[in-house]
């Protein structure tokens, strides 16, 4: 066995990492509470006065997590400003992005033995963009419902149009609920792909979200972008 030479690439600022883990927690909390709100559990209280106001508390937790999540985007954007490694979106405007995405996709479909090495796996980046779209839908529909308890206040005026666009507030509830499931499906795929990349391909996808650095045995194609 040859000794493997490894290089370290610093990619993710602490702000991005904090954001990432807040997002993970918030999504778990919001998914669980959201399902409970849509299908509340049975409580066998005899009087509202004797109950623990369960649904009310669940809703408050959901809202709290939602506000925390939205606020955490401050970290994400700040990281993007101060650190070259943090990037908000994939570089759609660069032609090689597409051929590289195909390269990775073919590998994952077992049509290619391996894909070239990238610091930022283009297919994964594409999926994160998809996640942001889903999150945006959740934020818009979420605030559209939340703020309509006072339709003529500023929040109602800012987000009320979402209900109109979707064809009614009930539709907003439904879209919000469906999108939540889409996010769960994304999460299950994401969890697998990063674990696979970390332990099978040696791509530090999991560890870099703790340490910020990727330690790679090969020279990634996009290493120059960090300079």
Partner 1 sequence: MFISFVTIKGGKNVEKRETMWEAYLRRGFSRRTFLKGCVALTSLMGLSTDMLDKVVEAAETKPLPVVIWMHGHECTGCDESFIRSASPLASDLVLTNIALEYDHLLSAACGEPFEQHLEETVKKYYGQYILAVEGAVSTTNNGTYCMSGGKPFVDNLQHVAKGAAAIIAYGSCAAYGGIQAAKPNPTGSAGISHYVGTKQVINVPGCPPIPEVMTGVVMHVALFGKLPTLDSDGRPRQFYGNRIHDTCYRRPFFDAGMFADHFDDAGAKAGWCLYKLGCRGPETYNSCGNLRWWQGMSYPIQSGAPCIGCANANFWDSGACFSERLPKYGPLPDVDIIGAGLAAASVVGVAAHGALSVVQRHERDKAEAKENEGKEQVAGK
64 lies in the site for partner 1, by CB under 8 A: no
Closest CB 135 distance from partner 1, rounded Å: 17
Judged by CB, which is closer to partner 1: 18, or 35? 35
8 lies in the site for partner 1, by CB under 8 A: no
198 lies in the site for partner 1, by CB under 8 A: no
Residue with tokens 């792909």: 193
5 lies in the site for partner 1, by CB under 8 A: no
177 lies in the site for partner 1, by CB under 8 A: yes
Spatial neighbors of 121 by CB under 8 A, at least 6 apart, are 104, 197, 203, 205
111 lies in the site for partner 1, by CB under 8 A: no
Residue 109 vs residues 19, 145, 165: alpha-carbon distances, Å: 31, 41, 38
- In the DSSP assignment, the letter for residue 165 is H
Judged by CB, which is closer to partner 1: 57, or 136? 57
- Number of residues lying near partner 1 (CB under 8 A): 45
Site for partner 1 in 144-173 (CB under 8 A): 148-149, 151-152, 157, 160, 164, 167-173
Runs of H (alpha helix) within the chain: 14-38, 54-82, 96-108, 122-146, 154-166, 169-200, 208-211
């Amino acid at each position: 066995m040859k000794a493997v030479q490894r290089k370290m690439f610093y990619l993710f600022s602490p702000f991005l990492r904090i954001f990432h883990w807040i997002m993970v927690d918030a999504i778990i909390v919001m998914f669980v509470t959201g399902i409970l709100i849509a299908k509340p559990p049975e409580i066998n209280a005899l009087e509202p006065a004797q109950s623990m106001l369960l649904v009310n508390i669940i809703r408050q937790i959901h809202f709290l997590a939602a506000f925390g999540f939205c606020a955490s985007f401050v970290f994400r954007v700040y990281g993007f400003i101060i650190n070259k490694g943090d990037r908000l979106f994939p570089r759609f405007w660069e032609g090689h992005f597409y051929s590289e995405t195909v390269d990775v996709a073919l590998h994952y479909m077992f049509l290619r033995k391996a894909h070239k090495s990238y610091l930022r796996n283009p297919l994964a980046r594409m999926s994160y963009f998809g996640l942001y779209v889903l999150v945006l839908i959740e934020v818009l529909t979420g605030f559209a419902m939340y703020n309509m308890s006072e339709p003529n206040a500023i929040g109602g005026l800012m987000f009320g149009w979402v209900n109109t666009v979707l064809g009614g507030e009930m539709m907003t509830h439904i879209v919000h609920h469906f999108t939540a499931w889409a996010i769960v499906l994304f999460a299950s795929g994401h969890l697998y792909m990063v674990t696979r990349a970390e332990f099978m391909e040696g791509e530090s996808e999991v560890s870099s979200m703790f340490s910020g650095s990727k330690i790679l045995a090969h020279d990634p194609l996009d290493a120059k972008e960090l300079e």
